[in-house]
Amino acid sequence: MKYRIEKDTLGEVQVPEEKLWGAQTQRSKTNFKIGPEASMPLEIIKAFAYLKKAAAYTNTDLGVLSTEKRDLISQVCDEIVQGHLNEHFPLVIWQTGSGTQSNMNVNEVIANRAQQLVGKTWTDEPVLKANDDVNKSQSSNDTFPTAMHIAAYKILVENTIPALKELKKTFEDKSKQFEAIVKIGRTHLMDATPLTLGQEFSGYTQLLEYALRNLEASLSYLSELALGGTAVGTGLNTPKGYDTLVAQYISKFTGHPFVTAPNKFEALSAHNAIVQSHAALKQLAVSLNKIANDIRMMASGPRSGIGEILLPENEPGSSIMPGKVNPTQCEAVTMVCAQVMGNDVAVTIGATQGHYELNVFKPMLISNFIQSAMLLGDAMQSFNKNCAEGIEPNNKRIEELVSNSLMLVTALNTKIGYYKAAEIAQTAHKNGTTLKEEAVRLGYVSAEDFDQWVNPKEMV
């Protein structure tokens, strides 16, 4: 492998000749061999490209950067957003807690790629300087939290929320489709009074509605950007009006309604917007876990379980048991939910590390956030397509379980009283008989009255 010499304030560093990064990136790559290379999410890298482009336009508008340099920065940023330069971002999450090295990775790649675009070599005078031009009016301390919010906002509105809306719509449709199917309810995993399968699915719809509301509410906080605070929140080395204008450019380039944060000191030192938004992701995970567990238990069997609903048969379920089919989509969703709940613990702890003017757990915070949002979005798409849309009722089994339930006796409470109704249920359970048989034998209810009063369709 051939190398070239790059310099920073600590001296010379060898960098692979074909790579666009510079000395500071190489030092980080060498000093932090923790986890897989390039584990910094590309969503963050692309978010950096949006903000670097916006910063260049703002600096030009405010008279501190030439149009030629702006256009070069913009051209490279567009290449980054399009994914053409992914191989030049090799750094891991586990680096400095401010994300400085990833900020410089982007700065160096933009500067060195610009050198290529104008046909100059590594040894020629640079057309762009990573710190003086690409990073102008910026600090890692305000660029990284800005990239965090851009990436978090985009993945929620472009991945997680659309998938959630689709799954919610499926459950709404199923609720209407199943509204007349009376089934036995269960509390404490034991038989309870009847409800309809549609009512049960309406509960799942509402769970997803609450999760959707919380995610959408969190977007307003994620839309606030730290850029313009520079090192500690004071905006040192920025031209007047920079923070507001740069947010407008980011909004224009991303197509999302970003604004400047009202208080840059909070924006650099704390990440409550990430905490709140990830809490909404955790709530979604809790809801999905409940839904997926209910569905796989309702579908258990096919002959020795509950078996009230039928799930799509997507793949063989066993390497030893022929013909076995498992609720694999439910299992995948619940594993994702466990991961998201674990991520929330890391996000919570990371957000506590805002000492004085800077939180120094930024890369870990956003990495966990992006993983949670992406996993939930992908899992909901998969679950919706390969499971939820294909759920069908097993009407024969539903009717069998309803007719065999002892808790239909609850309908007699207001007719003969709780204690006599309990005696009927307990006697029928002990003798293996029906509620009607024991009610009539005990002399508490006539056969005609029983048929009139104990009607599952009237109990929902």
For residues 76 and 17, membership in a common domain is answered with: yes
Average pLDDT, the chain: 97
The span from the CA of 369 to the CA of 362, in Å, is 11
Q: Which residues, other chains included, contact 306 with Cβ-Cβ below 8 Å and sequence gap of 6+?
A: 297, 298, 299, 300, 397, 401
For residues 148 and 114, membership in a common domain is answered with: no
For residues 189 and 302, membership in a common domain is answered with: yes
Residue 18 maps to which CATH number? 1.10.275.10
Per residue in 261-290, pLDDT (tens digit) is 999 999 999 999 999 999 999 999 999 999
Look up the domain containing 17 and give its range: 3-136
110: nearest Cα among 23, 166, 52: 52
For residues 342 and 384, membership in a common domain is answered with: yes
In a domain, 247, yes or no: no
149 classed as catalytic: no
179: nearest Cα among 200, 206, 204, 194: 200
Per residue in 225-245, pLDDT (tens digit) is 999 999 999 999 999 999 999
Please identify which residue in the block is written with the tokens 């003969």: 416
User: Is 141 flagged in the annotation as binding?
Assistant: yes
Provide mean pLDDT across the span 180-198. Answer: 97
Find residue 259's DSSP bridge partners. Answer: 224
For residues 76 and 208, membership in a common domain is answered with: no
User: Is 410 flagged in the annotation as binding?
Assistant: no
In a domain, 249, yes or no: no
> How far are the Cα atoms of 228, 277, 290, 380 from residue 287, in angstroms, in the given order?
38, 16, 5, 12
For residues 318 and 390, membership in a common domain is answered with: yes
pLDDT at 258 over 90: yes
318 classed as catalytic: yes
For residues 272 and 358, membership in a common domain is answered with: yes
For residues 92 and 230, membership in a common domain is answered with: no
At 358, which helix (H) or strand (E)? strand 358-359
pLDDT at 257 over 90: yes
Rounded to the nearest 10 degrees, the angle between the axes of helix 140-155 and helix 242-254 is 30
pLDDT band for position 1 (cuts 50, 70, 90): confident
Catalytic residue among 66, 84, 220, 318: 318
**Phi first, then psi: what are they for 393, rounded to 5°?**
-75, 145
Q: Which amino acid is at 146?
A: T
User: Is 74 flagged in the annotation as binding?
Assistant: no
How far from the centroid of its chain's Cα atoms is residue 434's Cα? 49
In a domain, 276, yes or no: yes
pLDDT at 11 over 90: yes
How many domains does the chain contain in total?
A: 3
Locate 75 and state its tokens: 């051209």
Among candidate residues 396, 419, 438, the one where a domain is terminated: 396
User: Is 30 flagged in the annotation as binding?
Assistant: no
Three-state SS string across 175-225, please?
HHHCCCCEEEEEECCEEEEEEEHHHHHHHHHHHHHHHHHHHHHHHHHHCEE
Please identify which residue in the block is written with the tokens 């990833």: 102
> How far are the Cα atoms of 12, 110, 112 from residue 131, in angstroms, in the given order?
17, 11, 12
Q: What one-character-per-residue DSSP string does 79-105 give?
A: HHHTTTTGGG----SSS-TT-HHHHHH
Locate 90 and state its tokens: 């090799």
In a domain, 303, yes or no: yes
For residues 296 and 334, membership in a common domain is answered with: yes
334: nearest Cα among 366, 298, 380, 370: 380
In a domain, 147, yes or no: yes
**242 and 62 Cβ atoms separated by less than 8 Å:** yes
User: Is 39 flagged in the annotation as binding?
Assistant: no
The span from the CA of 45 to the CA of 38, in Å, is 11
Among candidate residues 136, 162, 186, the one where a domain is terminated: 136
Locate 305 and state its tokens: 């379980």
pLDDT band for position 254 (cuts 50, 70, 90): very high
For residues 358 and 454, membership in a common domain is answered with: no
**125 and 116 Cβ atoms separated by less than 8 Å:** no
Please identify which residue in the block is written with the tokens 């008279």: 63
pLDDT band for position 449 (cuts 50, 70, 90): very high
User: Is 246 flagged in the annotation as binding?
Assistant: no
Residue 226 maps to which CATH number? 1.20.200.10
**143 and 51 Cβ atoms separated by less than 8 Å:** yes
User: Is 405 flagged in the annotation as binding?
Assistant: no
pLDDT band for position 382 (cuts 50, 70, 90): very high
User: Is 432 flagged in the annotation as binding?
Assistant: no
Residue 429 maps to which CATH number? 1.10.40.30
Among candidate residues 136, 157, 190, the one where a domain is terminated: 136
Per residue in 114-165, pLDDT (tens digit) is 999 999 998 999 999 999 999 999 999 999 999 999 999 999 999 999 999 9
Instruction: Collapse the DSSP code of 64 into the 3-class scheme (helix H, G, I; strand E, B; otherwise coil) and give the result.
Output: coil
For residues 380 and 414, membership in a common domain is answered with: no
Provide mean pLDDT across the span 331-342. Answer: 98
In a domain, 209, yes or no: yes
In a domain, 252, yes or no: no
137 φ/ψ sector (left φ>0, alpha ψ -120 to 50, else beta): left
User: Is 326 flagged in the annotation as binding?
Assistant: yes
The span from the CA of 24 to the CA of 113, in Å, is 16
For residues 169 and 313, membership in a common domain is answered with: yes
User: Is 187 flagged in the annotation as binding?
Assistant: yes
How far from the centroid of its chain's Cα atoms is residue 161's Cα? 8
Residues in the chain: 460
In a domain, 242, yes or no: no
Provide mean pLDDT across the span 439-454. Answer: 96
